[in-house]
């Protein structure tokens, strides 16, 4: 039996507890949606304000004279991100968005020829990744019905690695999968999948949206070919924050499929030559001018992540999601809830997937009680206890509030349908 005294003792011994004051948290509110949009930290606010001040003070000279020169900011953020990925810095760049970066990597490295035309994906992935694959296939005049293999889920929430591996054949050019499934929070075995794919000569591309900043990675050691991610979830860069991409060093030097001015070698960029000399690093896969004000907050948030250490963040994240699961079993029996995230630590990402037939109305009721969850159609309540600013007592209180909602049927006063933005 887990009690309030128990969770308060755990909070007293929490090594990350000091970071809670770094974030702008609303009083009488518990934020459980950091896997959709991370919160603003004081350090990110300061970093953004510094870039605004540099613009105010320096104008165009901010590209080289700013406190953090804008011309080199994308590369600096890549170097700061690299330790979270287990990658060497030259393979990482802060740029674009998940979808534009997917288009860049597919346009560069998906070359359907000599019998290798197929891409393996899955039926549970976020729609934007699927749109990118299908549109790239259309550019090659290929029918996705024939050339895009989407691995089916046996339960509608998780994938089996063996089902993915079974589709790895010599007519497959590329494997594109999420590291963590956005609904259920299942963490795939990236190392094993990469190893098996490479046996068949298949390139491997992971979407790390729901793992970066919450789960340690070893992309170099696993020999992953490519990765993309957003930064506004566990990296706390802010709405629409600039994304990132990773290109393994063995692929560096490849001419970008979607070339642009910032694909250039930085020493030659202002020569204004009409023949591109690409950067020798992952910077070659940038396209347009960096989005400075959407990148600057990362200077503050990444500083905290590196300071705290991704291993410590993962340790607390696992403890918080375990507490959630234990409390659901302890307090919510008989109310129609089902946990659909994996229970094993090595298969669990950073959020809990709680399924209920009235999930939409329950999310609205939770918000009315000061808890900010996330709804995903058709029946998923996602709850993300972010290690930086979620206490064990917060988790205890969320389950307590949810139990009270069910006991008093408070959710019945809300329509069980999503709003425009779920």
What is the rounded CA–CA span in Å between residue 232 and residue 236? 5
State how far Cα 211 lies from the chain centre: 5
Low-confidence ranges of the chain (pLDDT < 70): none
The 10s digit of each residue's pLDDT in 373-395 is 999 999 999 999 999 999 999 99
pLDDT of residue 284: 98
Q: Which domains does the chain have, with CATH numbers?
A: 4-31+309-413 (3.90.1150.10), 46-306 (3.40.640.10)
Tell me which residue of 298, 201, 208 sits closest to 246, measured CA to CA.
208
The span from the first CA to the last CA of the chain, in angstroms, equals 34
Residue 127 marked ligand-binding: yes
Residue 99 marked ligand-binding: yes
pLDDT of residue 251: 98
Residue 212 marked ligand-binding: no
Residue 98 marked ligand-binding: yes
**Dihedral, 372, 373, 375, 379 alpha carbons, nearest 10:** -130
The overall pTM is greater than 0.85: yes
CA geometry: angle at 176 spanning 174 and 181, to 5°? 160
State how far Cα 44 lies from the chain centre: 18
Q: How many CB atoms lie within 10 A of CB 135?
A: 14
Residue 378 marked ligand-binding: no
The 10s digit of each residue's pLDDT in 274-314 is 999 999 999 999 999 999 999 999 999 999 999 999 999 99
Residue 232 marked ligand-binding: yes
- Phi, psi dihedrals of residue 352, rounded to the nearest 5°: -100, 140
**Dihedral, 324, 326, 327, 331 alpha carbons, nearest 10:** 140
Specify burial of residue 200 (Cβ count, 10 A radius: 0-12, 13-18, 19+): middle
**DSSP structure string for 161-204:** HHHHHHT--TTEEEEEEESB-TTT-BBP-HHHHHHHHHHTT-EE
Three-state DSSP class for 93? strand
Residue 326 marked ligand-binding: no
The 10s digit of each residue's pLDDT in 106-118 is 999 999 988 899 9
């Amino acid at each position: 039996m887990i009690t309030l005294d128990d969770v308060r003792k755990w909070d007293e011994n929490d090594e990350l507890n000091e970071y809670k004051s770094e974030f702008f948290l609303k009083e009488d509110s518990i934020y459980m949606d950091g896997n959709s949009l991370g919160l603003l930290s004081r350090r990110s606010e300061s970093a953004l304000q510094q870039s605004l001040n540099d613009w105010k003070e320096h104008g165009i000279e901010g590209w080289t004279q700013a406190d953090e020169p804008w011309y080199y900011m994308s590369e600096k953020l890549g170097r700061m991100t690299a330790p979270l990925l287990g990658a060497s810095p030259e393979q990482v760049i802060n740029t674009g968005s998940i979808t534009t970066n997917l288009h860049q990597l597919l346009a560069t490295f998906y070359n359907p020829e000599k019998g290798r035309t197929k891409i393996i994906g899955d039926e549970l992935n976020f729609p934007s990744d699927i749109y990118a694959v299908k549109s790239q296939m259309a550019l090659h005049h290929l029918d996705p019905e024939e050339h895009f293999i989407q691995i089916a889920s046996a339960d509608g929430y998780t994938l089996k690695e063996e089902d993915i591996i079974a589709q790895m054949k010599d007519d497959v050019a590329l494997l594109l999968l999420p590291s963590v499934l956005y609904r259920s929070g299942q963490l795939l075995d990236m190392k094993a999948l990469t190893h098996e794919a490479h046996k068949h000569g298949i390139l491997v591309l992971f979407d790390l949206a729901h793992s970066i900043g919450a789960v340690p990675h070893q992309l170099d050691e696993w020999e992953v070919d490519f990765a993309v991610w957003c930064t506004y979830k566990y990296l706390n860069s802010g709405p629409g924050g600039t994304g990132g991409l990773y290109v393994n060093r063995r692929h560096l030097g490849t001419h970008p499929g979607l070339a642009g001015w910032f694909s250039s070698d930085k020493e030659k960029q202002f020569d204004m030559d009409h023949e591109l000399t690409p950067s020798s690093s992952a910077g070659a896969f940038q396209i347009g001018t960096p989005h400075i004000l959407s990148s600057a907050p990362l200077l503050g948030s990444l500083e905290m992540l590196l300071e705290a250490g991704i291993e410590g963040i993962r340790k607390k994240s696992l403890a918080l999601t375990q507490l959630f699961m234990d409390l659901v079993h302890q307090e919510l029996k008989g109310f129609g809830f089902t946990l659909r995230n994996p229970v094993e630590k090595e298969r669990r990402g950073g959020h809990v997937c709680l399924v209920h037939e009235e999930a939409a109305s329950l999310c609205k009721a939770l918000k009315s009680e000061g808890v900010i969850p996330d709804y995903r159609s058709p029946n998923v309540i996602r709850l993300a206890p972010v290690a930086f600013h979620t206490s064990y007592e917060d988790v205890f209180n969320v389950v307590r509030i949810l139990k009270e909602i069910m006991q008093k049927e408070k959710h019945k006063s809300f329509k069980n349908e999503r709003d425009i933005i779920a």
